[in-house]
Amino acid sequence: MKTACAVFAGFVLLESLVSHAASAADVPKGEVTKHQFRSSRIFPGTVRDFWVYVPQQYTGEKPAALYVNQDGIQYNAPAVFDQLIASGDMPVTIGVFVMHGKVPAVNGETQLDRFNRSFEYDGLGDGYARFLIDELLPEVEKLKTSDGRPIKLSKDPHDRAIGGSSSGAICAWTVAWERPDSFRRVFSAIGTYVGLRGGQNYPTLIRKYEPKPLRVFLEDGTNDLNIYGGDWWIANQAMERSLVFAGYEVNHSWGDGGHNGKHATEIFPEAMKWLWKDHTAGIKVGKGSPQLQEILIPGEEWELVGEGYKFTEGPAVNAQGEVFFNDVPNSTTYKVGSQGVEVFRKETNNGDGQAFGPDGRLYTVAGKSQQIVATSPDGKVTEIAKGFRGNDLVVLNSGNIYVTEPGWSGTEPSKIWFIPKSGEAKVVDTGLKFSNGITVSPDQGLLYVSDSKSHWVYSYQIQPDGTLSYKQKYYHLHMPDTADDSGADGMRTDKNGRLWVATRMGLQVCDQAGRVNCIIPSPNGKVSNLTFGGPEFDTLFITAGDRVYKRKIKVSGANAWQTPIKPAAPRL
């Protein structure tokens, strides 16, 4: 027999359902249309269906906000959007629900299609982001609603959200992670942040990277998958803890469900409300790890120094804090002066890596003429060594020089040359795959050489006679999942002993124990080298393809031409 309380609760529930049904009937309903896309250049040969939801409130006069979902329509999203747009809990939003691609078999009766879901969704890198941004969404904007309204999508990243379940969830995260200039709100359900195609690395990368302007909602259950690729429940908690550690705007809903969409569908309306809250105010950027906070100044962004070059390299700083760099293909050295960028020297024979010496001269690797030359402040050029095509160099306070010779052909050995202050150049090491950037520790007791075709920076102990001992693969760098190596290039140390390395992923900042503490991406995704400029050597300059940028930081560089300094021991 039911109690009076239970009967009353039943009446309340029934009344609520009736009221909800009545209100739902009054809510303007959007239109959903189905389409097919088969002309991808990024995923050639693929065919996929996609659906477009357009709310009734959308007039076509101004661009709408955007929500993209992988694996098609999930979470009863069109009905949820109808309700939330009507209540004002999310902006007028167009939904694009897209399936993964598949490459149809030549003979469907005897051959299997190639299913691209894991390749597109689980893989790291910007491939799927480019597919959405450069291929699919422009096609969506060619469509019209049944009553002729043109589809216009906002390009403001604060107006763009993306979501999905399982592999579709890590895909959504990867799109926003790679392209925060296009998407900044992420809904992730039962996310596959495990060891299928590198997703297990995200909790570590989130902790090390300079934070990005993203807002993330995570969902998972205690009975999610625990299989060969990893433990989904543990992986999602690791993601949440890393996002909190790095200062991201993150929320979550944990349940006890398995690897399905039941719980995600239940919490989807509230998750959308949170993702879109105060949407016109934008998304805050976290402070990042304590290690990042030690070196970066809050609110200080990259500033463009110059652009329009073919390829920039060799940033070097003199005693006055003035920075010089090379445009290698154009054989021109530039100086960053008080009035901007000016030409310092022309006809450099493809001047590449360079560094100032204790005598105030600028030492340069001239690749075309296979020389090492020194240029005095008045422009006089003197040959220091010849007979090999170097890449980068460092000049110590003693006047001794070390130069890398990569082995440009791929078949000749990679070498490290030693040029004493007075004497002939000689090879002091061979065996790296592609010796590239080179620098010394602040106390000038250790030589560091980056091996571009690996994920290592080698450490050597410098002996009194200039020879090298105790060679070790010492600094362990991160590398993109889409690359076979780190692409490690130019390097510098700061006065606290950190090693700053230019890599494919940005500047990787390492402690003296050989561990990457921080990763700082460049504004255009490119960086070949760096130096510390300005009167206090606390402005970071980077060469980045056709551009040069600078950024004020909290720490100062240790210049090899200065008197050596002994930094504090690392925290082990």
Q: Which residues are annotated as a binding site?
A: 436, 489
Burial of residue 5 (CB within 10 Å: 0-12, 13-18, 19+) is exposed
Q: Report the relative pairing of strands 215-221 and 249-255 from DSSP bridges.
A: parallel
As a whole number of angstroms, the distance between CA 344 and CA 346 comes to 7
As a whole number of angstroms, the distance between CA 350 and CA 329 comes to 6
3-state secondary structure of 162: strand
Q: Which of 429, 451, 485, 489 is catalytic?
A: 489
As a whole number of angstroms, the distance between CA 185 and CA 272 comes to 10
3-state secondary structure of 430: strand
And the tokens for 242? 């890393």
386 forms bridges with which residues in the sheet? 371
Read off the DSSP letter of residue 281: G
3-state secondary structure of 358: coil
Side chain identity at residue 518, one-letter code: C
313 forms bridges with which residues in the sheet? 326
And the tokens for 28? 């303007």
Read off the DSSP letter of residue 132: I
Q: What is the 3-state secondary structure (H, E, C) of 62-93?
A: CCEEEEEEECCCCCCHHHHHHHHHHHCCCCCE
Annotated catalytic residue 489: yes
Q: What is the CA radius of gyration of the chain?
A: 28
Q: Can you say which residues are annotated as belonging to the binding site for a divalent metal cation? A: 436, 489
- Phi/psi at 95 (nearest 5 deg)? -105, 135
How many Cα atoms within 13 Å fall on the side-chain side of residue 492?
Answer: 29
Q: Are 491 and 503 in contact (CB under 8 A)?
A: no
Q: Are 478 and 202 in contact (CB under 8 A)?
A: no
Active site residues: 489
